[in-house]
Structure 1
Amino acid sequence: MVNLGEIFPTFAADTTIGQIEFHSWLGDSWGILFSHPADYTPVCTTELGMVAKLTDEFKKRDVKLIALSCDDVDSHKGWIEDIKTNSGFSQDWPYPIIADQKRDLAVKFGMLDPDEKDDAGMALTARCVFIIGPDKKLKLSILYPATTGRNFDEILRVIDSLQLTATKRVATPANWTSGNECMVLPNIPDEEARKLFPNFRKQDVPSGKNYMRFTPQP
């Protein structure tokens, strides 16, 4: 397992675009590694198709995408044709899929779902999302069970938050989306906050503590 803020370890892997070394492939971009239980499974098919259709949105944010599934490259390539047909995606396939037949990476990164097994009794890979920054550090991880598909609009939303808060001294409140009000960090005194965020406002609370401070998105 990798903790938030730690360097996400590099690895070599066979993929649908050939052999890669993860850090070299990522370069100076943000990256998302998202795992799948198996090829030719219904929920995964909808997920990979949705990501393909959102490729331009990820590109706008300088995010590279790479998937992982516990089958071989030939299986992945055949599965891609099903994904494209199901999703209506007709362009060249936009991101690689890692082959992890032996579950080496699934074990290394804590991706296995013990409650979901294949016909041979091997644990399936859960639906992990790892967001890695240009500094190669893990910025966010989400773990879904194999039976629950992911919301990739939410993943775009959290990328917007991560990229904003990496460079501006703000936090984002519940259900925030890009362009909405942000929150002034608690460790910034009011005097400094007025200089950084001239239009910030305070919201009164019964405790009388002035910690609910909002500002237009910087």
Structure 2
Amino acid sequence: PDFEADTTEGRIRFHEWIGDGWALLFSHPKDFTPVCTTELGAVASMQPDFAQRNCKIIGISVDGVSDHEKWKQDIVTATGHDASYPLIGDPNLEVVKQYDMLPADAGDQAEGRTAADNATARSVFIIGPDKKIKATLTYPMTTGRNFDEILRLLDSIQLTAHEQVATPANWNHGEDVIVVPSVSNEAAEEKYGGFDAPLPYLRYVKQPS
């Protein structure tokens, strides 16, 4: 869904802010909490990796923008990385409800809510250039997110958006991929110059460049 919101970089309209590229929207239950502090620092350290993939990063919680600004210094102190990407303030719970991170009856203000109240607002959304959600992940409060895995997921989604392939278990960028079933053997031979088929329906090829 599209929305307008205040961020640490000013007011934005989300789809306009995304532009023609990809976006990673990730939420956290509350500012000034331990696991989330490590996560935002981890994302900050990986900004060049996401930028290389034409993917913008934006965070969100139900805290106000002024709290985000104060918290950013703690993130630098704890992790050594500056969260220089925008953080959305959603104190009226409007955006988190639009993305089904909190139920419709959660109220309309963040004041008085604890991190536990916002536990479900701990999700990741990968959004494509067509402004459609391509993947979602939701984590428990006690488990810090693995952003290397999220980067791997983005690599797979971007590759398979343009090629008739799928990625196998534990795949990493540059490794062999699987030809999708809708492609005939003849077409796979022509397109990829052959394939390795341990099973008739499992055909491996080199990752297309």
| Structure 1 residues without counterparts, runs of 5 or longer | 1-8, 205-209
Residue 23 (structure 1) shift? 0.8
The question of 1:174 aligning with 2:169 is answered: yes
Match of 2:86 in 1: 96
Identity %: 50
1:31 match: 23
Aligned position for 1:65: 57
Is the partner of 2:124 in helix, strand or coil?
Answer: strand
Per the alignment, in what secondary structure is the counterpart of residue 106 of structure 1?
A: helix
Asked if structure 2 preserves the Cα contact closer than 8 Å seen for 1:199 and 1:216, the reply is no
Residues 91 and 111, structure 2, Cα contact 8 Å, conserved in 1? no
Contact 1:126 1:146 in 2 (8 A): no
Measure the CA separation in 2 of the matches of 1:119 and 1:31: 29
Does 1:195 pair with 2:190? yes
Residues 67-98 of structure 1, C-alpha deviations (whole Å, 9 max, x = no match): 00111111100000000111112x5x421000
* Counterpart Cα distance in 2 of 1:145 and 1:181: 32
Amino acid at match of 2:44: A
CA deviations over 1:94-117 (Å, ceiling 9, x no partner):
21000011211112211139xxxx
Q: Which amino acid aligns with 1:30?
A: W
2:37 partner SS: helix
**Aligned partner of 1:51 among 38, 43, 58:** 43
- How far off is 1:174 after superposition? 0.4
Aligned amino acid, residue 19 of structure 2: G
Aligned to 1:134: 129
Say if 2:205 is the partner of 1:215: yes
Aligned mate of 2:139, from 135, 144, 168: 144
Q: What's the CA shift for 1:200? A: 1.0
Structure 1, 145-154 or 170-179: larger mean CA deviation: 145-154
Cα distance between partner residues in 1 of 2:182 and 2:74: 51
CA distance in 2, matches of 1:157, 1:200: 23
Please give the TM-score of this superposition, normalised by the length of structure 2.
0.91
Deviation at 1:121? 5.2
Note the C-alpha offset of 1:119.
9.1
Cα drift, residue 147 of structure 1: 2.5
How far 1:137 moved relative to its partner?
A: 1.1
Pair 102,146 (structure 1): closer, same or farther in 2 beyond 3 Å: farther
Give the count of matched residue pairs: 199
Say whether the 8 Å CA contact 1:34–1:130 is kept in structure 2: yes
| Whole-Å separation in 1 of the counterparts to 2:207 and 2:92 | 46
Q: 1:165 aligns with which of 160, 170, 185?
A: 160
Q: Is the 8 A contact 2:8 2:65 kept in 1?
A: yes
Give me the TM-score of the superposition, normalised by structure 1: 0.87
Counterparts of 1:149 and 1:100, CA distance in 2: 22
Task: Give me the whole-angstrom Cα distance separating, in 2, the residues matched to 1:69 and 1:84.
Answer: 18
RMSD: 1.6
Secondary structure, in 3 states, of the residue corresponding to 2:56? strand
